[in-house]
Structure 1
Amino acid sequence: MTDTTLLVTSAVRGAAESSGDGSWLSSLADWTVSLMEVIGPVGAGAAIALENLFPPLPSEVVLPMAGLTASRGAFTLAEALIWTTVGSVVGAFVLYGIGAWLGAARLRRIAEWMPLMKGDDVDRTVAWFHKHGWAAVFFGRMIPIFRSLISIPAGVSRMPLWKFGLLTGAGSAVWNTIFVMAGFLLGENWHVIEQYADVFQYIVIAVVVALIAWFLFVRIRAAVRARRESQTGQV
């Protein structure tokens, strides 16, 4: 390891130990910093591309480390910002491709096969995306979980590639800049912003769980009501 890598890894391990999440955070830190050491800022971009494909990988950890590494002189701040944004766009386009491959017709068949789902749900989602897709793609890049998932309906709806790429790049640039700059300016205290990001993520997860619970409640109630009406009609 280079001196810069050792300094960054030590800083991240110290933050992980102080937060009581040493093994998980340290492993991620070692892997990401090693990647940046081998291929420079491209490594940060690769890590963010993977974060888009696998949402459990927290960009709130990877991005500040890119800024912290840049502050140590391994590469420039501009390179960190550019390559992390490129990584976000690349990961998003992979998910866009999956959505385009699935298509609305195939998703309708899947929805009809799933309990409590209807093919019309897919149609309504596609119609909603055609109307609000630009805002969903742009602002979705700043919301945990959604920044990965939103690329799939974009592909299903066949949003123009140039438009999807532009909105994804712009939204990702805003989000990435906040966390890369935090790592660059806060240095070894980069983990302070992670605490606030965790709160935001928990709020998002709580909202998603609440929406899913409400959806299930409405669909189950409708199914029970339909069954009762069917039994009454038979009598």
Structure 2
Amino acid sequence: MEKLGGPGAGLAIALENLFPPLPSEVILPLAGFTASQGRMGFVSAVAWTTAGSVVGALALYLLGALFGRDRLIAAAARLPLVKVADVERTEAWFLRHGTKAVFFGRFIPIFRSLISIPAGVERMRLPLFLTLTAAGSLIWNTAFIAAGYALGARWHEVTDLVGLYSKVILAIVAVAGLAFVGVRLLRARRAERRRPVRRSEEEVRL
């Protein structure tokens, strides 16, 4: 960001969308601090990072559109513990709440990257997707850049605070994932027990 200014910040955020382990909660306050030092303008930092968010989200949207619904269902049918009905329920949920999910998803770590893929799979209207992504990203980016700008050399305090928020989100996702696997394994065992035991041909003859 020191060498490239706003475009460097935008590039970092675009990569954060593609690789969620690169947290925007670190990049954005640092961009604000860099702006406070005069190495880039505040408006430039907001504009470039928002553009980076849109570009990264668009790449994932196109990936989802390329993969498509048919391939997604086919892949789900081959995965253990996953049912095609799960995909269909998720699809139905997205059709009802997709616009809210894309907008508010920009405020949730990990989810803000992943939500672009089902939007592409379901072929959400591209102008709508870009508008929602840009609006949510603008709010999120401005808040964190402003915090880093105001705190100056203490910009890392924002990261420390939001780091707890990110860990809570990740913990919820992990618990939900474990619960999903646990329930599916339990149902599979129950179904196996209920399945009638086949008798041998010799027993049938007797």
1:170 maps to which residue?
Answer: 135
2:20 maps to which residue?
Answer: 55
Q: Work out the CA distance in 2 between the residues paired with 1:145 and 1:44.
A: 19
2:70 maps to which residue?
Answer: 105
1:153 maps to which residue?
Answer: 118
Q: Work out the CA distance in 2 between the residues paired with 1:38 and 1:126.
A: 43
Q: Work out the CA distance in 1 between the residues paired with 2:69 and 2:188.
A: 25
Count of residue pairs the alignment pairs up: 199
Whether the 8 Å contact between 1:126 and 1:156 is mirrored in structure 2 is no
Q: Work out the CA distance in 2 between the residues paired with 1:229 and 1:51.
A: 48
Q: Work out the CA distance in 2 between the residues paired with 1:198 and 1:67.
A: 17
Q: Work out the CA distance in 2 between the residues paired with 1:85 and 1:79.
A: 10
The match for 2:88 among 123, 141, 150 is 123
Q: Work out the CA distance in 1 between the residues paired with 2:96 and 2:161.
A: 32
The match for 1:203 among 168, 175, 178 is 168
Alpha-carbon offset, residue 37 of structure 1: 3.3
Aligned amino acid, residue 128 of structure 1: W
SS at structure 2 position matched to 1:141: helix
The match for 2:42 among 66, 73, 77 is 77
TM-score, normalization by structure 1:
0.82
1:33 maps to which residue?
Answer: none
Spell out the pairing of 1:172-191 with structure 2 (5 A cutoff): 172-191=137-156
The match for 1:221 among 176, 186, 200 is 186
1:120-156 Cα distance to aligned partner (Å, 9 max, x none): 2111111111100011111110001101111001111
State percent identity of aligned pairs. 54
Spell out the pairing of 1:125-144 with structure 2 (5 A cutoff): 125-144=90-109
Q: Work out the CA distance in 2 between the residues paired with 1:203 and 1:39.
A: 33
Whether the 8 Å contact between 1:63 and 1:180 is mirrored in structure 2 is yes
TM-score, normalization by structure 2:
0.93
Aligned amino acid, residue 163 of structure 1: L
Alpha-carbon offset, residue 78 of structure 1: 0.4
Identify the range of structure 1 (86-95 vs 67-76) with the bigger mean alpha-carbon deviation.
67-76
SS at structure 2 position matched to 1:129: helix
Unaligned runs of 5+ in 2: 200-206
Whether the 8 Å contact between 1:48 and 1:84 is mirrored in structure 2 is yes
Q: Work out the CA distance in 1 between the residues paired with 2:143 and 2:61.
A: 25
2:31 maps to which residue?
Answer: 66
Whether the 8 Å contact between 1:96 and 1:153 is mirrored in structure 2 is yes
The match for 1:42 among 1, 4, 7 is 7
Task: Give the number of the structure whose alpha-carbon radius of gyration is greater.
Answer: 2
Superposition CA RMSD, Å = 1.1
Q: Work out the CA distance in 1 between the residues paired with 2:26 and 2:178.
A: 30
Q: Work out the CA distance in 2 between the residues paired with 1:43 and 1:177.
A: 16
Q: Work out the CA distance in 1 between the residues paired with 2:57 and 2:178.
A: 28
Alpha-carbon offset, residue 221 of structure 1: 1.2
Alpha-carbon offset, residue 39 of structure 1: 2.7
Q: Work out the CA distance in 2 between the residues paired with 1:194 and 1:79.
A: 21
